[in-house]
Structure 1
């Protein structure tokens, strides 16, 4: 499995997956990071660990179709076969989604289908969970399809919402579950590919 990451900010899930690969916990090779934010922490991290990285954004490709084509070309050039969205704040285009059908995974900081969709990202999700008085939140890994937070659910982790939780404290616990959840999902995906059809 050769993994490509798309990330806009810190890339905590990408970092967890790369660490799992380095530790031999996941039989995969990190192949490329693409970010739409050249100043992001995830781009600095990729440089530090010598992970190939590219800045592909709407600034250089104002036409969405051209950006989609550039992303797909870059993934193919690095022989990526599995794509992970790690806090990527753009929708993937139809070319990339079609070429990597059922091989693009995203992690979302809620128990989808709750608190998903347009406008539901990052701390906005945790604030909505707290405002609704939920007792349980968590993270979801799902296959990416057209639309925001759409696609079949692959795995979920459940995190208790504590009476004194703030957005920051809930975020910290949910985020801590996201990396292991993605690693679990990737391990299952890798095992499924290696199992011969009957």
Structure 2
């Protein structure tokens, strides 16, 4: 099976990036991360990429006049690194048709809620504020509507008495690492049928 050629978009600490790199290094996934694109100059994910010897490209969204201009630059980098699937793992930017047309049905996103509940920013805080007993995480194909698109994998995480956003987010991250690997393994298995 030909490994999936992945480009990862991330904005923060990069725990999901690291979990993905680790799974690939341990031959748990038929994939290769060809490039990391990050938009925050202080993002710790860049250090993780360096540790894994994975090329990292900073595309600071503040340097672009529009979301479309940023996505045009993203597409150029992804194409330069011969990427065939895009993984948004903690990418805190809304994407445009520029990216979605270049990688039609080949962009996935990881979101810290059981979609369609708690879309958008601060999903963990939204779940706590709503008083629900269960939340979780979702991997889905990206569509133009934020945090929409066909769901590929989900995992439930109970909300415990005394949970803070930080405690709950840590438990959700454990599940995020698992479902991201599951979704990519399924994509690899079905490549050509997708």
* Pair 1:83-2:96 in alignment: no
Give the equivalent residue in structure 1 for 2:173.
175
In 2, the alpha carbon distance for the partners of 1:184 and 1:46 equals 21
TM-score of the aligned structures, taking structure 2 as reference length: 0.93
**How far did residue 49 of structure 1 move?**
1.9
> Which whole-Å deviations, capped at 9, do the CAs of 1:118-140 have from their partners, x for residues lacking one?
xx2xxx32222122221111100
In 2, the alpha carbon distance for the partners of 1:67 and 1:194 equals 29
Q: Report the more deviating stretch, 159-168 or 81-90.
A: 159-168
For the residue of structure 1 that corresponds to 2:156, the secondary structure is strand
**How far did residue 45 of structure 1 move?**
1.4
> Which whole-Å deviations, capped at 9, do the CAs of 1:48-86 have from their partners, x for residues lacking one?
221111111233322333222111011011010111111
* Pair 1:19-2:22 in alignment: yes
Extract unaligned runs of 5+ from structure 1.
none
**How far did residue 194 of structure 1 move?**
5.9
Extract unaligned runs of 5+ from structure 2.
none
Aligned counterpart for 1:147 among listed residues 136, 145, 148: 145
Give the equivalent residue in structure 2 for 1:138.
136
Instruction: Tell me which stretches of 4 or more aligned residues in structure 1 moved more than 6 Å.
Output: none
Give the equivalent residue in structure 1 for 2:11.
8
Q: Report the more deviating stretch, 90-99 or 133-142.
A: 90-99
Q: 8 Å contact 2:67–2:95 — kept in the other structure?
A: no
> Which whole-Å deviations, capped at 9, do the CAs of 1:1-28 have from their partners, x for residues lacking one?
0110001111221111111000000010
For the residue of structure 2 that corresponds to 1:187, the secondary structure is helix
For the residue of structure 2 that corresponds to 1:4, the secondary structure is strand
Q: Report the more deviating stretch, 10-19 or 181-190.
A: 10-19
Aligned counterpart for 2:114 among listed residues 96, 111, 115: 111
For the residue of structure 2 that corresponds to 1:83, the secondary structure is strand
Give the equivalent residue in structure 2 for 1:187.
185
The 1:66–1:164 alpha-carbon spacing in structure 2 relative to 1, beyond 3 Å, is: closer
State the superposition RMSD in angstroms.
1.5
